[in-house]
Structures are given as C-alpha cells and as structure tokens.
Amino acid sequence: MPAKIQIADSDVLLVIDLQADFMPGGRLAVAEGDVVVPTVNALIRRFAHVVVTQDWHPEGHASFASTHAAQPFETKQLHYGDQTLWPNHCVQGSEGAALHPELDLDAAFVILRKGMNPGVDSYSAFVEADGRTTTGLGALLNARGVKRVFCCGLATDFCVAYSALDARAAGFDAFVIEDACRAIDADGSLAAAWARMDAAGVRRMDSRDIEG
Ligand code: VGL
Ligand code: ZN
C-alpha cells in the first residue's frame, strides 16, 4: 500500500462548486453531487487553509446555450476558443447558485466567485477560459505559503480538472480527491480530463489516503 499522505500547513483544500444547480434536481445536475458533501466536510476539518469556489454567472452568460439560441452540450466557437454550452446555471443571486446548505463554510478563508465575466467562462479557480485573466488565487496561495493544492467538489471533468491543471501550471503540486468529487461525464469528458491530468502530473487519491 502506498504511504499515507500527511496534511501540512502548506496544503490548501480547494472545494469546488458545491452549489444547488449541480446537485440532483438542479439545472446542471451532476449525478450523486450531493453525496460528496459529508466527505468534503470531513476533509475541511483536516486542512489549515480552505478555499471554496462558487460558479457565479451573470444572466446571458456566454457559456449558456440560451445566449446563442443553441442547444445545451453543443460546442460554440467563442473569441477565446471552443466553449461547451450549458443550460442556464449558477446565475448570480439565484437559488441555484447557492452553496449546499450543509457545506461547512466556517473554516474557509475565501469564497472565490468565478465565471463573472459575461463573455468568458471560467472552469478554473485560477485562470479564466481566455487563458490569460487571472482570478488572483495563485498569488493568494503563494502569499500564504501554500505548496500543495488538494481539489474536491464538482465536476471532476470540468471545474475540478481545470483547477487542478492550472494549479500545476502555477507551480503547485496538485491532487484530486476522487471520492470527494463527481463528474458530468458527457461524451467521454471524464476520460479526456484524466488523460490531461495524468500527463500534467496531477495525482489521484482518496480521502482515506490521508494520515490520521
Ligand atoms: C461547471 C460546467 C459549467 C463545473 C461549471 O463546476 O464543473 N461545469 N460551469
Ligand atoms: Zn458555469
């Protein structure tokens, strides 16, 4: 059995998009999205640094199919590249944008909202989909002495994967805690995301791999 992972003060837990619209019954439901909440709460207790993200789109956002009179899950060429189009979801201030009521937010030092630029999506907590516009998270984590980023939440193949890849690109070690994530998995997106993460040195783990 591989050695257990010891959590240090230089580790951050990144809790991604545990919001009503991604839960069963939500507008962009992820199967079993709600099942991970107790697992994530147990993880939160073990980390000195916790960041929570919240997908937070204005009405008429460029990632919404309705904005382009297109169908959800089609791909559309936008000025920064190919964008998967989604049902309207996580509209700023809407019920669907709310964080899961049982998510334990007390230990989070920042709730980072993303996807607020009307014309640019942001799966990643670090860099928007134009590949340039930073959220400032990398600098914030560096300022706090963070070296390793542990990712959990929704969805494994989109916001979790892009955040883990960008954590690597920003020079952090990156881990995805698989039992604390669930995927959308449309058109092989989960396998494709794992191929990219494996190639980038993102490590897969389970919450039980943590020591203690
Ligand atoms: C997400 C699609 C669109 C996610 C957010 O949280 O993975 N996916 N917006
Ligand atoms: Zn979104």
> Ligand 1: distance of its center to the CA of 4 in Å?
30
At residue 53, does pLDDT exceed 90? yes
At residue 150, does pLDDT exceed 70? yes
Mean residue pLDDT across the chain: 97
Give the residue carrying structure tokens 């980038």.
200
| Total number of domains in the chain | 1
- What is the best residue among 73, 128, 158 to mutate for testing ligand 1's pocket, by most ligand atoms within 8 Å of CB? 158
| Residue numbers of the domain that contains 14 | 5-211
What are the φ/ψ torsions at residue 124 (nearest 5 degrees)?
-80, 145
Atom of ligand 1 nearest to the CA of 22: 6
Which is it for the CA torsion 100, 104, 105, 111, positive or negative? negative
121: its two tokens: 């999506």
CATH number of residue 96's parent domain: 3.40.50.850
2/98: higher pLDDT: 98
pLDDT for the residue numbered 18: 98
At residue 135, does pLDDT exceed 70? yes
Mean pLDDT of 90-116: 98
At residue 119, does pLDDT exceed 70? yes
At residue 97, does pLDDT exceed 90? yes
d(CA 174, CA 209): 15
Q: Of 11, 21, 114, 121, which one is the catalytic site residue?
A: 114
Contact in structure between 66 and 89 (CB atoms under 8 Å)? no
What is the share, in percent, of the chain residues with pLDDT greater than 70? 99
- What is the best residue among 17, 122, 190 to mutate for testing ligand 1's pocket, by most ligand atoms within 8 Å of CB? 17
67-76 confidence digits (pLDDT tens): 999 999 999 9
At residue 2, does pLDDT exceed 80? no
Angstrom distances, CA of residue 73 to CA of 34, 62, 63, 85, 206: 22, 13, 10, 5, 30
Mean pLDDT of 113-129: 98
Atom of ligand 1 nearest to the CA of 55: 5
- What pLDDT band is residue 212 in, cutting at 50, 70 and 90? confident
d(CA 146, CA 94): 33
- What pLDDT band is residue 3 in, cutting at 50, 70 and 90? confident
At residue 1, does pLDDT exceed 80? no
pLDDT for the residue numbered 172: 98
pLDDT for the residue numbered 101: 98
192: its two tokens: 């494709």
Give the residue carrying structure tokens 């009405």.
59
Q: Would the CB of 21 count as within 6 Å of ligand 1?
A: no
